[in-house]
Each structure stands twice: as C-alpha cells, then as structure tokens.
C-alpha cells in the first residue's frame, strides 16, 4: 500500500526517495514500463499452472523465481526490495498509482547495476484480480502494509485501520489463489503486541515478558484511540485468518519504531502515529526503536529460513528507550523535538515489562544458508 500524499509534497518525496535509493540507507556493500500490471520489461513470467508443486521440486524452481514487494514507494518497502536485489533476487515492485510509478522513475531507481533485477507494476490493492496478476509467477510476497495519510494530524485514523486490515486479508487470499506463490512475509508492528489491559490486580500475576505470544487488545486500542496499534493488530490477525488451513507459508515481522537515514523527513506522520501513547510505552519499558536496515535484513532472513524451521511471528528491535536522555534524542532525531511531552515523564516509575527479541536474534545469528547464495 502506498502513501496518501498532498500534491505539494511530491517534489520533496521524490528527492528523499532518490537519496534513499542511491544507497544512503545501506550499511553494507552490496528503463521500465508501466501499465495495469500486465507487463514487466525484460522479465520472463514463470507462473506455475495448476496445483502447487511438491515441496522439493518447488523449492528448486522458486530459487530462480522473482519475489514481489508491496508498497514500493514506502521507506520500508524500498529497503526490503533493495536488500533482496543485493542478495541476487529479481523483485517485482508494487505501487498503487501512476504517480508513484513516475516518482520512482524520477529518482533513478531503475538505473545502475541493480536495474535489471527490479520491475515495477501498478496494482489496485483492493481488487483480487489485480493482486493475483501482480503475484503471478512470483515465489514469495512481502506485504509491507505501509498506510499513512500525510495530510492528517496523526497520520492515521480508525477508518484507515479498518481499510488496512481488509487489504491485508485480500493480499494473503491472493497469495493462496496464485499457484506460484508459496511464501508470504507480512510486516506488522510491535504495536500489535504491547497494548494489553489487566483488570484489577491481575496485572501483578501476569508474566512481565513481552514476546511473540502477546497480542494487543483491540478494545483497549479503540478506547485509547490508538489507531495505528489497532490497524496493525487487526491487519496481522486478518492475514493469519486468511492463511489458516491453506497451502501457504506465512510469517509476520513486528518491528519497533523504524528509524534510519532520511526517515523523519519522509515519514514524520508515521512517527507521530506510532508515538501516540508514547509516555505509557516509555514508562512500561516498551518503547523501542529499530534501524530500517536491520528490519529489511530480518525480512529477507526470515523469508529464506521459511523453507526450514522459521515460522510464526518475529519481534524486531535494536534499542529500548530507558532514560529521558534517550527519549529526547529520539524526538530530536525524528524531527519531533517540540513533541517531547508525548514521551517525557515516563521514567517516574520502574518499567514493568521486558521486551524480548530472542526468536529473531537466534535466527539472525544462525548459520542459515541464503537461498540467493545457492543460485549463484
């Protein structure tokens, strides 16, 4: 899903995206045609007709098949696409409008050594036929679920939460219907794990560990008007429902507040939306951040490990905000210094909960062999 932008913001967005594509995101070494999803210049479409292939044969084939990344103009969407290309994958990049496609073209995204590995396509994310056509011939889909209204004050509304959940469910349904697609990685959020309520004295008896087994309470999110947390929770539950009992491997990533070069310039409203309730998150030890390069790497590593034991949810964070100094630095780095009050004051009490990213850390530290290494 793309970003809903004001027209006057396009020039700035193009420049920021251009800088990101030129490599300012990365910490390692590492011509197109539009249309309604019908043509990918230079790409051979390798749809697999009929029912899905047996696992062993399918894995041999899909190592050379493209993968699809939705929300191609979003910060996280491009970061994942870029990481995939650096690993040797061919990427079909989904955008929602011709304007998004033109913006990518203006940035020079399809020039240089990696240009032969990326193929943009305009897709109507609300239409099943459009989604299936975009996914046809791809072995896997990365649905990044970026949904923001930069014209809004908070960047996110209850209506958008409902729409995001609907689109997320459709994406997984389309994956199930597309015979070539065997794997889907969905980008959720840590916000889908941390907002829970404990009536009375029950809080004292619950585990203080927050891991992949924890889900945010939709009623609590609604009561507190935490629309981004509500949207991420609803969307992630929607994809798990859509995949249940189906011949599709699914994993979800739950990153903390995403940071990185140029992020605040392109996504100030997403940071504001994430930090709604920030003081409470800070007080409870649940306010964390993660660099976009780590998030992108985690997506690729999880995808490549899903042929083995990788499955389920993965919490992703690098740093937990534990002091007023950390909080002030976060707001300054995000260009929100004047909004420090949304966080400050949260250190008056000892944090009650402890975040865990052990599951993802074990995967990232394993000697897992990349599929892209096997095809070179």
- HEC-encoded secondary structure of the chain: CCEECCHHHHHHHHHHHHHHHHHHCCCCCCCCCCCCCCCCCCCCCCCCCCCCCCHHHHHHHHCCCCEEECCCCCHHHHHHHHHHHHCCCCEEEEECCHHHHHHHHHHCCCCCCCHHHEEEEECCCCCHHHHHHHHCCCCEEEECCCCEECCCCCCCCHHHHHHHHHHHHHHHHHHHHCCCCCEEEEECCCHHHHCCCCCCCHHHHCCCEECCCCCCCHHHHHHCCCHHHHHHHHHHHHHHHHHCCCCCEEEEEEECEEECCCHHHHCHHHHHHHCCCHHHHHHCCCCEEEEHHHHHHHHHHHHHHCCCCCCEEEEECCEECCCHHHHHHHHHHCCCHHHHHHCCCCCCCCCCCEECCHHHHHHHHCCCCCHHHHHC
Please state, as a whole number, how many other Cβ atoms lie within 10 Å of the Cβ of residue 59.
15
Report how far residue 281's alpha carbon sits from residue 254's, in angstroms, rounded to the nearest whole number: 16
The answer to whether 232 is a known catalytic residue is yes
**What are the distances in angstroms from CA 237 to CA 125, 188, 310, 312?**
18, 10, 19, 12
Choose the catalytic residue: 232, 237, 249, 276: 232
List active site positions: 232
């Amino acid at each position: 899903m793309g970003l809903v932008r004001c027209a006057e913001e396009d020039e700035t967005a193009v420049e920021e995206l251009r800088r990101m594509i030129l490599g300012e995101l990365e910490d390692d070494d590492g011509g197109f045609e539009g249309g309604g999803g019908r043509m990918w210049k230079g790409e051979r479409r390798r749809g697999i007709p009929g029912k899905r292939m047996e696992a062993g044969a399918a894995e041999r084939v899909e190592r050379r098949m493209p993968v699809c990344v939705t929300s191609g103009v979003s910060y996280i969407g491009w970061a994942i696409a870029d990481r995939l290309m650096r690993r040797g994958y061919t990427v079909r990049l989904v955008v929602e409008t011709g304007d998004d496609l033109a913006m990518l073209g203006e940035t020079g995204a399809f020039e240089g050594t990696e240009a032969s590995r990326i193929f943009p396509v305009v897709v109507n994310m609300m239409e099943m036929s459009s989604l299936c056509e975009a996914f046809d011939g791809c072995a896997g889909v990365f649905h990044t679920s970026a949904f923001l209204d930069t014209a809004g004050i908070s960047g996110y509304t209850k209506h958008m939460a409902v729409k995001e959940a609907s689109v997320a469910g459709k994406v997984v349904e389309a994956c199930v219907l597309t015979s070539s697609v065997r794997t889907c990685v969905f980008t959720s959020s840590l916000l889908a794990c941390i907002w829970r309520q404990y009536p009375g004295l029950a809080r004292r008896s619950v585990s203080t560990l927050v891991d992949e087994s924890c889900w945010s309470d939709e009623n609590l999110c609604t009561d507190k008007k935490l629309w981004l947390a509500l949207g991420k929770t609803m969307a992630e539950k929607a994809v798990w429902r859509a995949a249940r009992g189906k011949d599709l491997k699914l994993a979800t990533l739950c990153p903390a507040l995403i940071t990185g070069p140029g992020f605040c310039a392109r996504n100030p409203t997403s940071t504001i939306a994430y930090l709604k309730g920030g003081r409470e998150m800070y007080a409870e030890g649940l306010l964390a951040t993660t660099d976009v390069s780590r998030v992108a790497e985690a997506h690729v590593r999880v995808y490549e490990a899903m042929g083995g034991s990788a499955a389920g949810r993965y919490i992703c964070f690098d740093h937990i905000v534990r002091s007023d100094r950390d909080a002030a630095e976060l707001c300054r780095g995000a260009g929100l210094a004047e909004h420090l009050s949304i966080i400050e004051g949260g250190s008056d009490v000892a944090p009650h909960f402890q975040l865990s990213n052990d599951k993802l850390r074990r995967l990232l530290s394993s000697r897992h062999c990349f599929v892209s290494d096997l095809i070179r």
